[in-house]
Amino acid sequence: MKVLVTTVPFGDKDKSPLEMLEANNIEYVINPLNKKLTEDELSEMISDFDVIIAGTEPITKKVFNNANSLKMISRVGIGLDSVDLIEARSQGIVISYTPDAPAPAVAELTIGLILTLLRSVHISNMEMHNGKWHRFFGRRLSEITIGIIGVGRIGCGVLQHLQGFGSPKILLNDINSNHNLDQEYNIEWVDKETIYQKADIVTIHTPLTAQTKNMVKKEHLLSMKKDAIIINTSRGGIINEQDLYEVMQSNHLSGAAIDVFDFEPYDGNLREIERCILTAHMGSMSVDCRTRMEIEATEEVVRFLTEQPLESVVPEEEYTVQREGL
């Protein structure tokens, strides 16, 4: 059995996943291009492999049709928008993922970006490096309203972290409102439009689906407060990048932080906006969380190839989301 590891880096900080494969006499190849693969690159590479330990590269019908031996995909991470689940099922390919492992790191990065933008740390840093001394006024979390769109693992993590900052006013939106949270936190469930209009910070934590593609467009950005901040550490494509650029060029919104993009590596025009923080899809890239993701994905591969029950198969609801375009 041969395994293609497409996600990179892999085994850089902790060799345990590689050692696990070797201990089970599993032959593996790590992505020789050392970058996120395109559909064509993966299609050319996949023909002789039985398993993919996958990142966010597009695993499409074209890829599956070139995968003569493929039996399983073990996704390092939670997002499944890059995998054609319906085609995989039609070809009898099993898919597992690591939904819990990335959440703590992404939630912490979100909090860091919020604080950076509220206190203009990024701008002060640039000015100091350019020989300028300017002391910026900022805002504290306890004095503002925060809107969280998407209250799953990561959104809940952000909500929990915010409690350490004086219990700011928090507005929540999710397709499945978890009212158990009402007993623990000072929150209000509202529609997305209310969040756009009332929140000082809007942070996005939804999956990318047919329904959330370009969910945040120019009209929504313009409905936000002029000095509001928007953050996306979930998936590229949820905020329309060109619309965000045009809105920020018009001096609407005091800041933004984008960690995920339609096409990665990103080279778009948001780089022109100094008050827009851009990071290289690094939400999950803490050493502990990335290592846990790699280990959990590899453990699933070992279970599959040794005919043991899998522990993290993609649930049926994810197939429903893709099939029905939810």
Active-site annotation holder among 205, 220, 281, 292: 281
What single-letter DSSP state applies at residue 72? E
Residue 137 Rama label (left phi>0; alpha psi -120 to 50; beta) = beta
Cα 199 from Cα 148, distance rounded (Å): 9
CB atoms within 10 A of CB 126: 12
Among candidates 324, 319, 320, which has minimal Cα distance to 85? Answer: 319
Active-site annotation holder among 27, 264, 274, 311: 264
Catalytic residue at 122?
no
Alpha carbons within 13 A on the beta-carbon side of 75: 25
Active-site annotation holder among 205, 220, 235, 292: 235
Alpha carbons within 13 A on the beta-carbon side of 119: 10
Catalytic residue at 252?
no
Gyration radius of the chain over CA positions: 21
Catalytic residue at 264?
yes
**Cross-strand bridge partners of residue 255:** 229
Q: Mind telling me the catalytic residues? A: 235, 264, 281
